Structures are given as C-alpha cells and as structure tokens.
C-alpha cells in the first residue's frame, strides 16, 4: 500500500525547493561578482558544461541542456567565441548545423573562474565543514538527476 502524502510533506517539499531557489540566487550573485575575464554566469555555465559533459555540441543541444531558446544560446556562444573561449564551426555532417568546442583559453577561463570563487567556497567550507558538505552531495545529485529525467519525461 502506497503511503499517503500529507499536507505537511507537500509543504516541506515546497520549502525544500524554496530554500534551493534562494540558495541558487544568493550563490549565483556571489559567484557572478568574482567571475574573471568579463564572463557572465551564462558564459561560465557553458564553459563548465563543456568541462563536465562533452567536448563538442551543437547550439541546439546546449540550448536544450540549459532549457533556453536556441537564439539565447547562440548569443551566449557568439560572445564566448568573441573572447576565443569557444570555436563555432560548420558541422561536416550537416550543412545547417554548427559544432561548438571549448578552446584551451576557454578551459583556462573556466578554471580561473573556479579559482576566483575559492574565498566563497572556503567560507562555506569553514562554516559547515567538509563532512556536512560531502553529506549533502548525494541527495542534491539524486534530486538533480530526478528532475533532469522528469524534464525529459523519463522520471521514475
């Protein structure tokens, strides 16, 4: 027999999402203030995606990954290309598509951004301790994976 969801359980789940949203806003603003190379949060996010996920992507794939319009992604990619942090080339397999790759300069910019955030990260680490930070990660990662699958209609 499935357990019944109580109003309190739903309220607590809402509170969890509300806290995550507030944390995202506060941490994004703090991180944006220290980004080097004139990077915006959106530009850093794209560089970070390349470092974490794949070496090459189409603008459409990136737009889907970030859940934004292809036009918005094209704008971000153009600005990154202007800084020589990505290359945008025609896809040899498709006349209409482009392939985007992070350059060595882009990887350095991404690494510089993470290094610039060290004081912010150190402050959180000093306040909460390595164990508490480490203990949060599995739950946060599992929630991200669940929401990502739900976005694609594959939640379970």
Total domain count, the chain: 2
Examine the domain organization and report whether 102 and 129 are in the same domain: no
pLDDT mean over 122-142? 97
pLDDT, greater one: 93 or 37 = 37
pLDDT at 156: 53
Alpha-carbon gap, residue 86 to 124, rounded angstroms: 31
Instruction: Report if residue 4 sits inside a domain.
Output: no
User: Rounded to a whole number, what is the distance in angstroms from the first to the last CA of the chain?
Assistant: 18
| Residue 44 forms part of a structural domain | yes
User: Domain with 91 in it: what CATH number?
Assistant: 1.10.10.10
Q: Are residue 42 and residue 111 in the same domain, yes or no?
A: yes
125 lies in the same domain as 85: no
CA-wise closest residue to 51 among 135, 9, 95, 107: 107
Per-residue pLDDT at 155 exceeds 60: no
- Measured CA distances, 103 to 4, 47, 86, 100, 152 (Å): 52, 9, 5, 10, 30
Domain coverage including residue 46: 36-115
**pLDDT per position as a tens digit, 103-123:** 999 999 999 999 999 999 999
């Amino acid at each position: 027999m499935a357990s019944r969801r109580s109003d309190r359980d739903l309220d607590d789940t809402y509170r969890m999402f509300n806290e995550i949203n507030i944390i995202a806003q506060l941490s994004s603003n703090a991180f944006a203030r220290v980004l080097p190379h004139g990077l915006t949060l959106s530009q850093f996010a794209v560089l970070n995606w390349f470092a974490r996920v794949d070496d090459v992507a189409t603008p459409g794939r990136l737009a889907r990954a970030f859940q934004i319009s292809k036009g918005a992604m094209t704008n971000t990619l153009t600005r990154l290309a202007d800084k020589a942090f990505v290359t945008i080339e025609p896809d040899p397999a498709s006349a209409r598509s482009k392939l985007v790759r992070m350059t060595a300069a882009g990887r350095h910019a991404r690494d510089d951004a993470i290094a610039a955030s060290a004081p912010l990260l150190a402050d959180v680490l000093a306040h909460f301790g390595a164990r508490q930070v480490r203990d949060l990660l599995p739950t946060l990662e599992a929630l991200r994976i669940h929401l990502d699958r739900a976005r694609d209609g594959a939640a379970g």
